[in-house]
């Protein structure tokens, strides 16, 4: 008797996964590229804003110098924030615009009144600016050097020089001076120069006392004092 043949059972292969439509892959790639471009654009916008802020601060500092050159104290006052402070030549700290006005018009203005008079020279060059922006986009610090010529025709002529350490604040889209400290390196008569004579810094006024004592005790040339730098050392980040 013939043996019955076994029926072969077909082996089912797993169903092949349908390939993703070419259009979907293209859309995913475009979305990735778009996200990358958005990040790059945001980074560029932050960089441009930072560069614009630095230029605005440099302009502010230079305007301050030009106003001071002609003793335009009323114009200079508008460059400061309302919460500001000012400290010049170890005179101590004066706070607010009222304090700035006291320094400019009552102390410095005692010798060089608003607008200057004929025969007076009061130049304040603003040099070697280094501006460092804060991470919040609303604050910054700066270091500048003032080279100064002071004269009254037929009476006196002095040189002076020294660095500023500045703080700035951005309010309603505009930069203001928030803190100004100037450290004199030297004072010297024009006729004798720094080779022969180094005069002392001014010190606090007894007639118009400051709101707080000087931040540092230091001497002018021939003494040596290095005001602290607001920025880290580029080589060590210290």
Q: Is the dihedral of CA 191, 193, 195, 201 positive or negative?
A: positive
Taking the C-alpha atoms of residue 144 and residue 43, their distance in angstroms, rounded to an integer, is 29
pLDDT tens for 197-210 read: 999 998 899 999 99
What are the phi and psi torsion angles at 65 (to 5°)?
-60, -45
Q: Is the peptide bond before 232 cis (omega within 30 degrees of 0)?
A: no
CB 68 within 8 A of CB 76: yes
Q: 145 by DSSP, 3-state: which? A: strand
CATH topology classification for 31-189:
Nuclear Transport Factor 2; Chain: A, (3.10.450)
Tokens read off for 182: 């100037």
Tokens read off for 121: 């020279």
Tokens read off for 1: 């008797």
pLDDT tens for 140-199 read: 999 999 999 999 999 999 999 999 999 999 999 999 999 999 999 999 999 999 999 999
For residue 62, the number of C-alpha atoms closer than 13 Å in the C-beta half-sphere is 11
pLDDT tens for 18-39 read: 555 667 888 888 878 878 878 8
- List all residues 6 or more positions away from 91 whose beta carbon is below 8 Å from its beta carbon: 103, 107, 202, 203, 204, 205, 210, 214
CB 99 within 8 A of CB 85: yes
Percent of the chain exceeding pLDDT 90 equals 74
Beta bridge partners of 140: 133, 168
Domain ranges of the chain: 31-189
Q: Is the pLDDT of residue 219 over 90?
A: yes
């Amino acid at each position: 008797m013939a043996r019955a043949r076994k029926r072969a059972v077909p082996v089912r292969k797993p169903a092949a996964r349908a390939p993703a439509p070419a259009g979907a892959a293209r859309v995913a790639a475009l979305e990735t590229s778009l996200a990358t471009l958005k990040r790059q654009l945001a980074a560029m916008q932050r960089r441009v804003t930072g560069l614009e802020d630095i230029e605005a601060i440099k302009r502010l500092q230079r305007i301050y110098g030009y106003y001071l050159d002609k003793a335009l104290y009323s114009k200079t006052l508008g460059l400061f924030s309302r919460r500001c402070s000012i400290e010049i030549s170890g005179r101590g700290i004066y706070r607010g615009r009222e304090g700035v006005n006291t320094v400019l018009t009552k102390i410095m203005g005692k010798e060089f009144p608003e607008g200057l008079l004929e025969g007076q020279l009061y130049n304040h060059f603003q040099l070697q600016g280094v501006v460092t922006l804060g991470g919040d986009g609303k604050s910054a610090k700066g270091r500048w050097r003032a080279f100064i010529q002071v004269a009254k025709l037929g009476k006196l002529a002095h040189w002076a020089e020294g660095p500023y350490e500045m703080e700035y604040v951005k309010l309603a889209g505009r930069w203001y001076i928030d803190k100004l400290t100037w450290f004199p390196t030297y004072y010297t008569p024009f006729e004798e120069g720094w080779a022969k004579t180094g005069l002392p810094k001014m010190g606090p006024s007894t007639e118009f006392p400051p709101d707080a004592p000087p931040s540092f005790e230091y001497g002018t040339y021939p003494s040596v004092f290095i005001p602290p730098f607001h920025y880290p050392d580029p080589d060590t980040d210290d």
